[in-house]
Amino acid sequence: MGVGGNFWDLLKPYARKEGFDFLRNKRVAVDLSFWIVQHENAIKATHVRNPHLRLTFFRTINLFSKFGALPVFIVDGTPSPLKSRARIVRYFRSSGIELASLPVPEEGVSAERNHMFSSHVQKCVELVELLGMPVLKAKGEAESLCAQLNSEGHVDACITADSDAFLFGANCIIKCFCPNFKEPFECYNMSDIEAGLGLKRKHLIAISLLVGNDHDIKGVRGIGLDTALRFVKAFSEEDILNRLHEIGKGNTSQIPIFIKFEDDMDMDGNSLNRKQSHCSLCGHPGSKKDHMKFPCEFCVTKADEGCQRKPEDFKCDCFSCDMNRKHKEKKRLKNWHTKICHKIAEEPNFPKNEIIDMYLCNDNASDGPHIVWGKPNIEMLIDFLNFHQHWEPAYVRRMMFPMMSTIFLRDMTTTTEETMLFGQYQFDSIERVKMRYGYQFFVVKWKHAGVNISCKVPLKESSVQQDAIIELDETVDLLDDCDVPEIHEDSGCRFLLTDENMDLVGAAFPAEVKRFWQDQELKRRKNSTSRSQENEKSPSPNSRSIQLNITEFYPSTKVKHRQSKQGGGESSKIADSQGNEGSKMKRKMSSPDKIPKSVRRRLLFD
């Protein structure tokens, strides 16, 4: 809900679309009840056991493992009496019951949320605590504590669709948080709003008081968002709330200083205006009689002609007329402000100090901020989910694996101690690079420490049974992109494959990453080499014979031919001797052949 009217539409131009990496290593405050309401609205028609628990479980794992965020869950405290009354009014409106029969609760008494909703919140709190996430309880609105943590620097962003968070002091709000990677975050920064709209926190509070909010639905009668925006902008942030108080008391002389200042100036201008009379013919200062005889200085005509007749919609440019127009404009603005002030003054008990104090309160936590991310309590988590969701222990461990591997890799960046995941799995290797929605991941291979051949069959059976159970919940998986680790069997060993952030793996196992890239480079070279070999073969597809070398047939003597006398002599001698030897051998081999005399004579001659 938050600020009334179309407040989010007002902020729409300042939305930023952030990619999925935006949340990596960021602490984010999550309004838990917002998640629960969102869950139930989305899956109302589906028959799923405890959807709030299921979706909180998977969303937390995704937020922690896939997005790399550090969530802090904020739980609503007791709502303020004003909010309770506003909720009752909203309920009566929607149900069509007459407002006359509206019950009036006693002053200062607040109504609790309905029992079922509170029970859901309690179970989710228990779940996220077992997951190792910090949970804080707000005194009042959860978004008030979210905003306070953001303002004080304990968290980097708030995940909420409630625009109240800005009024509570938030700096960064993530409005749309889709569980999968496909859609970007819709992110709003207070700095953008201040730069673009000129509105600061107290300006926003003033607007909500005028337009309406969770605690006062109607606001001031007759003032909408545009009017409120225009009115509020005329005052400075420090001044706006005090002015509202003065106006509420009936002091309608509260006018922005710049209007008042210029109003004083206009008094002199106004007196100047009366001195000037204007010709009805040409519209310039002077009288008609004078202008009939002699043309005025404004009309550029010949001396013997009179002034020209003024055109239609003529506007005089003389100094007094300009001042007169400005004076009228200021007067109109003053009247507008006076009218707004009257509307505000007519509102009884405006502005409500309880609302202002609530928005400006900087002490929203039940306890001091205690934000620590611990390790999940796997055994109790297994019991909890087995009881509420009827999940098998193996299934819970498998679903928890991405979160545990993320924690393991983070621990490896700080400690050199070799520990095991679940006490069973250790880092084996980087399998490959994977692209998901435009981002690169390492597929990491985790090796089961013990070789338990006998455990294969029970695990497979358990997996099959769990798949049967998953089918019942299959429709809900569309809401949350569950990332189940892949099981891989290889020569008796059991492996799990997970997608991990590249920077995280690089920080945890730098040597492994370096080796992986070197292997990739070697593969690339081999591919290029084989490709070049193919190129060499292709030019002669018809060649079916092997070309021999001339040096295979004649003895070779490598001689350096130089112009020196000795070199030449040596080379010729060696060549002669080689030739002679070859000739002799050839003659011996061919002597048995009988060649006709004429042929022999010709061959010798040749």
Partner 1 sequence: MLELRLVQGSLLKKVLESIKELVNDANFDCSSTGFSLQAMDSSHVALVALLLRSEGFEHYRCDRNTSMGMNLNNMAKMLKCAGNDDIITIKADDGSDTVTFMFESPTQDKISDFEMKLMDIDSEHLGIPEAEYHAIVKMPSSEFARICKDLSSIGDTVVISITKEGVKFSTKGDIGTANIVCRQNTSVDKPEEATVIEMNEPVSLTFALRYMNSFTKATPLSNTVTISLSNELPVVVEYKIAEMGYVRFYLAPKIEEDEEDTKPQV
- Which residue, 457 or 548, is less far from partner 1 as judged by CB? 548
CB of 443 closer than 8 Å to CB of 499 = yes
Q: Give me the phi and psi of 447, to 5 degrees please.
A: -105, 135
579 binds partner 1 (CB under 8 A): yes
- Which residue, 472 or 585, is less far from partner 1 as judged by CB? 585
Cis preceding linkage at 539, omega within 30: no
- Which residue, 370 or 565, is less far from partner 1 as judged by CB? 565
Strand 185-189 to 172-176 pairing: antiparallel
Please name every residue paired with 512 in a beta bridge, in sequence order, or none if there are none: none
Q: Shortest approach of partner 1 to residue 570 CB, angstroms?
A: 10
- Which residue, 114 or 542, is less far from partner 1 as judged by CB? 542
606 binds partner 1 (CB under 8 A): yes
First to last CA, the chain: 112
Q: Shortest approach of partner 1 to residue 565 CB, angstroms?
A: 6
Q: How far apart are CA 481 and CA 483, in angstroms?
A: 6
Q: For partner 1, which stretch binds (CB under 8 A), given 207-215, 322-330, 393-401, 563-571?
A: 563-571
- Which residue, 537 or 561, is less far from partner 1 as judged by CB? 561
Directed axis angle between helix 51-61 and helix 32-42, to 10°? 120
Binding mask 515-554 for partner 1 (x = CB under 8 A): -------------------------x-xxxxxxxxxxxxx
593 binds partner 1 (CB under 8 A): yes
Q: Shortest approach of partner 1 to residue 536 CB, angstroms?
A: 14
601 binds partner 1 (CB under 8 A): no
Strand 493-501 to 135-137 pairing: unpaired
Angle (nearest 5°) at CA 64 between 62 and 65: 65
* Strand, coil or helix: 112: coil
Q: Shortest approach of partner 1 to residue 556 CB, angstroms?
A: 5
Please name every residue paired with 160 in a beta bridge, in sequence order, or none if there are none: none
Q: How far apart are CA 162 and CA 146, in angstroms?
A: 11
Choose, by CB under 8 A, the member of 561, 588, 592, 597 that binds partner 1. Answer: 561
In angstroms, the Cα distances linking 549 to 222, 539, 544, 555, 585 are: 104, 20, 16, 12, 21
Choose, by CB under 8 A, the member of 537, 565, 588, 597 that binds partner 1. Answer: 565
Choose, by CB under 8 A, the member of 44, 115, 537, 558 that binds partner 1. Answer: 558
Choose, by CB under 8 A, the member of 302, 531, 603, 605 that binds partner 1. Answer: 603
Q: Shortest approach of partner 1 to residue 537 CB, angstroms?
A: 14
Strand 425-436 to 439-448 pairing: antiparallel
- Which residue, 458 or 568, is less far from partner 1 as judged by CB? 568
- Which residue, 44 or 560, is less far from partner 1 as judged by CB? 560
Q: For partner 1, which stretch binds (CB under 8 A), given 64-72, 219-227, 469-477, 582-590?
A: 582-590
Q: Shortest approach of partner 1 to residue 590 CB, angstroms?
A: 5
Question: Which residue in the block uniquely carries the two structure tokens 């020569």?
Answer: 491
Question: Which residue in the block uniquely carries the two structure tokens 């991990």?
Answer: 500
Q: Shortest approach of partner 1 to residue 533 CB, angstroms?
A: 18
Q: Residues with Cβ < 8 Å from 61, sequence gap 6 or more?
A: 131, 399, 400, 402, 403, 483
Q: Shortest approach of partner 1 to residue 181 CB, angstroms?
A: 54
Q: Shortest approach of partner 1 to residue 528 CB, angstroms?
A: 25
555 binds partner 1 (CB under 8 A): yes
Directed axis angle between helix 257-275 and helix 319-346, to 10°? 140
Binding site for partner 1 (CB under 8 A): 540, 542-565, 567-569, 571-572, 574-575, 578-579, 581-583, 585-586, 590, 593, 595, 599-600, 602-603, 606
